[in-house]
């Protein structure tokens, strides 16, 4: 079951995690507060359907509509398995480096006039407690580390456009 971004890691999952946000609905526009035109903070998220045998979680936020290819806005790993969401502005677990070159979250900031972009907030439940990666790990290292360890997956899609 690959998601619409062609995420090969999600193809191996049998269970789905339901990811939601009180700030926006799936496929709706993300409020500017959470973008480069606002406070540029992580929106609040919630998730349910995490398997009981989950030992850690990973959260990746990316934009497959970026002009140069998929652009990563956030990577968090080694998130406690009992966690069922994040508060506004929170940085859960260990932060990887995003494609802005910063740790943690960088909000949507598509080129002006490029049209609406989609932002995938992806949650992975893993059967391992630690990825054995350090803060600042890149998405490719995180994806390599979680391959073969995904118990369940879910995503929330938000949109944003700069005019």
The CATH number for 107's domain is 3.90.280.10
1-5, 123-127, 159-163 — which is least confidently predicted? 1-5
- How would you classify residue 81: left for phi > 0, otherwise alpha for psi between -120 and 50, otherwise beta? alpha
| Mean local confidence (pLDDT), 115-119 | 96
Q: What is the mean pLDDT of the chain?
A: 92
Confidence of residue 163 (pLDDT cuts 50, 70, 90): confident
Strands 45-48 and 85-86: antiparallel
Counted residue by residue, the chain has a size of 163
First to last CA, the chain: 34
> Does residue 10 have a pLDDT over 50?
yes
Torsions phi, psi of 146, nearest 5? -90, -15
Does 6 reside within a domain?
no
Q: In DSSP terms, which residues pair with 123 in a beta bridge?
A: 59, 154
What SS3 state is found at 48? strand
Provide the number of structural domains found in the chain. Answer: 1
Does 5 reside within a domain?
no
Q: Is the pTM of this model over 0.75?
A: yes
58-108, pLDDT tens digit by residue? 999 999 999 999 999 999 999 999 999 999 999 999 999 999 999 999 999
Does 7 reside within a domain?
no
């Amino acid at each position: 079951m690959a998601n619409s971004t062609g995420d090969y890691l999600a193809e191996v999952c049998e269970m789905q995690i339901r990811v939601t946000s009180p700030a926006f609905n799936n496929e709706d526009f993300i409020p500017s507060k959470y973008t480069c035109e606002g406070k540029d903070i992580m929106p609040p998220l919630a998730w349910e359907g995490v398997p009981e045998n989950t030992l850690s979680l990973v959260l990746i936020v990316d934009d497959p509509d970026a002009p140069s290819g998929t652009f990563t806005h956030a990577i968090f790993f080694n998130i406690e398995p009992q966690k069922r969401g994040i508060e506004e502005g929170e940085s859960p677990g260990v932060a990887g480096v995003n494609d802005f070159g910063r740790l943690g979250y960088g909000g949507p900031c598509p080129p002006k006039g490029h049209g609406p972009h989609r932002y995938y907030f992806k949650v992975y439940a893993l059967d391992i407690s630690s990825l054995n990666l350090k803060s600042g790990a890149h998405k490719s290292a995180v994806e390599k580390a979680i391959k073969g360890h995904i118990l369940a997956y879910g995503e929330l899609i938000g949109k944003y456009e700069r005019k």
